[in-house]
Amino acid sequence: MTVLAITGFEILVEDAGTYAYISADVDVVVDTYYDGYHTVPTACEAKVLLADDTDLDQFRHEAEQMELAEDVSLWDYVDPSDDEIMENNPCGVPWHDGCR
């Protein structure tokens, strides 16, 4: 998967350690029944455990955030809400296969 753009980046300090939470638009390969394989930009998120000695100041820079995001191998897909689908759906019917 290719990271197209980072849409959110946050450092989270939790009991188990320090994490980087990344939300991004990622190019995902999908198999369509009729047209074969295509890449589709998809909203995704990931939570990455950082090493204890990680310099958190480096993540102020977008290039460093992108470098970390490119190392993520397992992204979780973010399902759009019905409102988001309706807004971007020409026929106005949420979850209609012909329009997604």
Long-range contacts from 11-20, C-beta under 8 angstroms, 24+ separation:
11/50, 11/56, 11/59, 12/47, 16/49, 17/49, 17/50, 17/52, 18/49, 18/50, 18/52, 18/54, 18/56, 19/47, 19/48, 19/49, 19/50, 20/47, 20/48, 20/50, 20/59, 20/65, 20/68
* Per-residue pLDDT tens digits for 32-48: 778 788 888 888 999 99
Could you give the CA distance from residue 1 to residue 20 in angstroms, rounded to a whole number? 19
Q: What average pLDDT does range 39-64 have in this prediction?
A: 93
pTM comes to 0.74
Q: Letter for the amino acid at 22? A: I
> Quick check: 89 pLDDT over 70?
no
Structure tokens at 93: 């019917």
Q: How confident is the model at residue 6 (pLDDT cuts 50, 70, 90)?
A: very high
Residue-level pLDDT at 35:
79
